[in-house]
Amino acid sequence: MAGHRADVEVSDGLGRSAGVLPHTRRHRYGNSVSLSAEVQAAVIAAYKANEPVNSIMQRFHIAPRALYSTLRDHGVAPNREFVRPPRVWTYAELDQITALRRRGATLADLESAMHASEETVREALVLLKEAGHRVPVHTERLVRRDGTASVWVAVDDPLRVMANRSGRIPEARLVAARVLGRPLTRNERVFHRNGDRTDCSPANLIVRSG
């Protein structure tokens, strides 16, 4: 039947059945909605029976924040290692992260824009991926086995025309193009004065045609 919500058989953690309790709905980004009194009682009983925190969250389909709130509301103090409630991202914030990432924002850029730590930003990217969003995850500078590197550039960067299908440009060519202020042509090659291909400092690069 359309709109019907399935019920879930739960246990109180002591081997006794707690009956059929309404399944808790979940925000698509992992934020749990309010729990019924029966579910809260079962969660408290399971916690007092020393059931692992992660097991409780998985069995009752609740997020860490919901578990923490339930314990707090019932005056139960965590007596063992507890998972710190994660930041709750709003739809607008997650959409902003997606837009920034697609424009080539680095993790540092996202940290600054969202006023969050690197770990928290990475958690948001994981949530977006789990929700089915295609969020570009770029390694800005990729080093090869021989020590040379390629650099990813944003789609709106004027030098993007030099990039391969992955959006990357050899570091030496990118540095030279930045110094010249224009994209290099296919006939222009970049050489290293000291012969060290890993040294891409502007003073060590020479651009030659042909």
pLDDT of residue 134: 61
Domain residues of the chain, as ranges?
Answer: 7-73, 91-130, 141-209
By CB atoms closer than 10 A (0-12, 13-18, 19+), residue 197 is middle
- pLDDT (average), residues 132-155: 75
pLDDT of residue 141: 79
Residue pair 43/62 in contact by the 8 Å Cβ criterion = yes
DSSP letter for 26, please: B
pLDDT band at 34 (very low <50, low <70, confident <90, very high): low
pLDDT of residue 24: 39
Q: Longest C-alpha distance within the chain, in Å?
A: 81
Distance CA 29, CA 65 (A): 13
- Dump the DSSP string for 175-206: HHHHHHTSPPPTTEEEEETTS-TT---GGGEE
pLDDT band at 136 (very low <50, low <70, confident <90, very high): low
> What is the chain's mean pLDDT, rounded?
75
Instruction: Report which of 203, 139, 144, 142 is spatially closest to residue 175, judged by C-alpha positions.
Output: 203
pLDDT band at 99 (very low <50, low <70, confident <90, very high): confident
